[in-house]
Structure 1
């Protein structure tokens, strides 16, 4: 009971700051801003608007009802994050599922962290926080990565640092956006996995992509079966048969290829001649990607 009373008293004190129009806090430099920003405040749900930068576009109704039931029993354990727009007006940065679930059970207020940010900062916060905290589908993650690259003007290296993911992982997600929209929708709806999508991206012909996609659905093909089908269509298996007598790569070269690939964020290949001479093949997807790889090789930051 003492803990609940303390929380209510804290809410009343901060609410007084928030509802004083003569001393409205609009920036981190305003008086009493340090008492508000970064603290948990009980906000009216009606004072919070949706975030147009939210990467999640669909919410599972059953999952929301389960969360609502948990909130009814235990309350909102993890506060949402909002940014202040105007007097008694806020915009959601992260926590839309908690916000929606609270509304489902008729709550009038919700605990929130308040931040003061401009549109660009809000976009970055929303995308990064949702990527890290929410169970987004692979296409939503890929779209979020692409938006951070395009709208915040991050490089893949900077994006890697912000979200704590390898560049190769980021590149694998971004490649999914090259799939036919029908396949992307199937992935978002859970009919196929990211593994299926990564296999299908190796088929350049869109119609063949869709034909294989239909086979996956009709025959419930696993990722491994899909990869085998793609290899057959690309003629990889027949090529492997003709080169099966070639001397296998030494272990140190195999390890080196993996290290190159991880560092450059690209699938590096190697060609070795009979006498030990060879060449590295480093693919790139665009001029920007070429410049990125060039800087990495030259050791530029």
Structure 2
């Protein structure tokens, strides 16, 4: 079973190399060597045992197979300086032979350094069945942290037989708090939901865990997005807040239009006693009035100037930093959150708000775009006083400033 299947990704899978292609013939010292079980130690990395659990049902089947047919596949070991051997592949075979009270095990003895031994253990576990996603991710991230710096994403994904996107998904799982990780193994959290809630900080993830523990219900990607929207509105949300966001009261159907029903559920007195036809006529009159006002006031002087990405750099940088004070852009970059997602979160957080500067030089208005309205500055020949930025421009500028700040810290 490959990573992609374990993590339920729709990405196409590449074929992982077999064990024989991983071990070069020149590295094999002995093949089918009979070694006493007492001369073999289980693999450990920095005194931490390999993290994979042994499935009892699978072990019992293997034991019966060896009992009737013998050991068909040799285990993989390397010789230690102490004269003993370290088991890299074949842990279930070793235990099965112990249960059958055998004294020796067939082994392939390889000349591996520490890095190559770690690779062999990783690869052997990739071929196993029944791995939990968190076990696979622990193994992958252990390899990535120790040896991955000299491999590209493409090289690493080819070695493990997975898609590059799945490598990043492993990082998402590792960013979860310890309480949430087991929920990925049980299916309470799909990998698609994990990618979304990765944007939550540790305290917010803890609240989410408490909610899932309470309701004992899987978190869907749609629900995960609702939790993120809740976090954008209230960073100190509670279990009850999540419950209200994911399980809103049903809207009473008074009208055919869902829009009118929503208004009625929020402000019933606002439209109480009005028929659907009367509401339709009111909406028509208000829209017509609005469009007339727009046309009459839509001269060139009132139109904002679109920012070209270069001019007025100081004013723009000051403005985007001002509206993003509560956002940790550095942490979002470290979590591989895209510029598009950062722009979306900024818009959702800042929409319908405004910010002024102490000197009164300009005011920032946040809506579908960000407007900087200057008090005593004309931006073009038409007399425009407002500069307009898209939220993607705002996000790109913040990312650039944050990366520059990080580079300066490294150089110091």
Shorter-chain TM-score: what band? 0.5 to 0.7
2:174 to 174, 177, 197: 177
The one-character-per-residue Cα deviations of 1:44-74 (angstroms, maximum 9, x if unpaired) are 2112111113533432344433432332233
Match of 1:15 in 2: none
Taking the aligned partners of 1:196 and 1:235, their CA distance within structure 2 comes to 16
Taking the aligned partners of 2:110 and 2:209, their CA distance within structure 1 comes to 44
Question: What TM-score results when the alignment is normalised by the length of structure 1?
Answer: 0.59
Structure 2 contact 197–224 (Cα < 8 Å) conserved: no
Match of 1:213 in 2: 209
Instruction: Return 5+ residue gaps in structure 1 as ranges.
Output: 1-32, 240-264, 292-301
1:167 to 164, 169, 189: 164
Taking the aligned partners of 2:133 and 2:210, their CA distance within structure 1 comes to 20
SS in 1 for 2:108: strand
Match of 1:121 in 2: 116
Cα deviation, residue 140, structure 1: 1.8
Cα deviation, residue 210, structure 1: 3.0
Say whether residues 1:147 and 2:142 are aligned partners. yes
Q: 1:266 to 1:124 in 2, by over 3 A?
A: farther
Structure 1 contact 83–114 (Cα < 8 Å) conserved: yes
RMSD of aligned Cα (Å): 4.0
Match of 1:18 in 2: none
Say whether residues 1:92 and 2:84 are aligned partners. no
Taking the aligned partners of 2:44 and 2:188, their CA distance within structure 1 comes to 28
Cα deviation, residue 152, structure 1: 1.6
Cα deviation, residue 133, structure 1: 3.3
Structure 2 contact 76–109 (Cα < 8 Å) conserved: yes
SS in 1 for 2:179: helix
User: Which structure has the bigger radius of gyration?
Assistant: 2
Cα deviation, residue 134, structure 1: 5.0
Instruction: Return 5+ residue gaps in structure 2 as ranges.
Output: 1-24, 234-335, 344-367, 369-389, 408-412
SS in 2 for 1:235: helix
Structure 1 contact 68–101 (Cα < 8 Å) conserved: yes
Alignment of 1:275-294 (within 5 A): none
The one-character-per-residue Cα deviations of 1:145-184 (angstroms, maximum 9, x if unpaired) are 2221221243452322321222211010121111111122
Match of 2:133 in 1: 138
Match of 1:204 in 2: 200
2:228 to 218, 234, 237: 234
Structure 2 contact 42–86 (Cα < 8 Å) conserved: yes
Q: 1:49 to 1:223 in 2, by over 3 A?
A: same
SS in 2 for 1:39: strand
